[in-house]
Amino acid sequence: MLIKRKEDIASSEITPESLYFNRREFIRAASAFGVGLAARSIFPESLMAQDKWPKGKKGPYDTDEEVNSYKDITTYNNFYEFGTDKSDPSQNSGRFKPKPWTVKVEGEVKKPATYNLEDFIKPYKLEDRIYRMRCVEGWSLVIPWRGIPLADVIKKLEPTSKAKYVAFETIFRPDEMEGQRRPYLNWPYVEGLRMDEAMNPLTFLAVGLYGKELPNQNGAPIRLVTPWKYGFKGIKSIVKIRFVEKEPPTTWNISAPNEYGFYSNVNPDVDHPRWSQKTERRIGEFLKRKTLMFNGYAEQVASMYAGMDLKKNY
């Protein structure tokens, strides 16, 4: 499939930072008729009514910042498989069927298999984790994820000594994911982590949020969460996990290598070519705040990058 060069992509397919927030205000105003109806068509009314998560730090990996509302988290999304606008995933994901689901494990691993999702997560106790999430466009959220540490899964799968990276792949269903009918990215979406990143205690496989099953627009039924990296690293609707020896290709790096690197760590000192990364806007807030190095998780992750040139390895 052809990949559009940046100069070939219509301006309507790339939203300037300033318009992200104007669009969000429009979405809020119209939610009763547009986004709200779309969301209610996907989730029971009782679930939509649960719109606040109790404030406060619960576990060792939680932030104590105020959590965004369920509505914010489920109506303002990046999920290009359903469209490029922030409202597209909640509006266009109703046809997507996350059940039944399988995850294929392959590559340099002792237990390759195709697992039913229920069997894949059954050995583990689900945890709730409140993470700061930062997107490359300059907006952020605080989300209470529900899921399992990726490290626990990796240990059970027993990768071989040749496994230096973990690669992930999203499902390809253009009949249910209308964004995949357009060639603005090379489908299916692929991502990857270095093995030490995958084994970091913060790295999470989420199967829910707000204590409920993961909504379609947020990556149902299983997605990756790496809170010290920009949001596009959090690959959604995962169907394949491969253990590999060499650095795997990643979708945005393939599409625009001068803008999106393999590591994609949140770094206020390394700007995106088209905008600064020094500040961010928390959804629901008017004023911008300073971007934190590694999104505030330096204590847990900085040692993995000791001695690296973080501008070169962006």
pLDDT for 51 equals 63
Tell me the average pLDDT of the chain: 88
Q: Is the dihedral of CA 124, 128, 132, 136 positive or negative?
A: positive
Taken in order 290, 309, 301, 213, the sign of the CA dihedral is: positive
Interatomic CA distance for residues 143 and 62, integer angstroms = 10
Question: Is the pLDDT confidence value at 246 over 70?
Answer: yes
| Contact status, residue 171 vs residue 237, Cβ threshold 8 Å | yes
Tell me the pTM: 0.84
In the chain, the amino acid numbered 36 is: G
Give burial (CB, 10 Å; 0-12/13-18/19+) of 212: middle
* CB atoms closer than 10 angstroms to residue 145: 25
Q: Average pLDDT of 227-251?
A: 98
CA distance 193 to 196: 8
Model pLDDT, residue 307: 96
Q: What is the tens place of the pLDDT at every residue in 268-314?
A: 999 999 999 999 999 999 999 999 999 999 999 999 999 999 999 99
Overall fold of domain 11-305: Sulfite Oxidase; Chain A, domain 2 (3.90.420)
Give the pLDDT score at 120. Answer: 95
Taking every pair of Cα atoms in the chain, the longest distance, rounded to a whole number of angstroms, is 54
Mean pLDDT, rounded, for 99-123: 97
Mean pLDDT of 254-260: 96
What value does the mean pLDDT take over residues 203-229?
A: 97
3-state secondary structure of 180: helix
Of 106, 31, 9, nearest in space to 76 by CA: 31
Tell me the percentage of the chain whose pLDDT exceeds 90.
81
Q: pLDDT (tens digit, 9 = 90+) per residue, 169-196?
A: 999 999 999 999 999 999 999 999 999 9
- Distance in angstroms (rounded) separating the CA atoms of residues 24 and 33: 15
Taking only the tens place, the pLDDT of each residue in 33-92 is: 343 333 333 233 433 445 678 887 789 999 999 999 999 999 999 999 999 999 999 999
The domain spans of the chain are: 11-305
Q: Residues 193, 165: contact at Cβ < 8 Å? A: yes
- Asked if pLDDT for residue 165 goes beyond 50, the answer is yes
How far apart are the C-alpha atoms of 80 and 96, rounded to whole Å? 14
- Asked which of 42-56, 131-145, 254-268 is least confident by mean pLDDT, the reply is 42-56
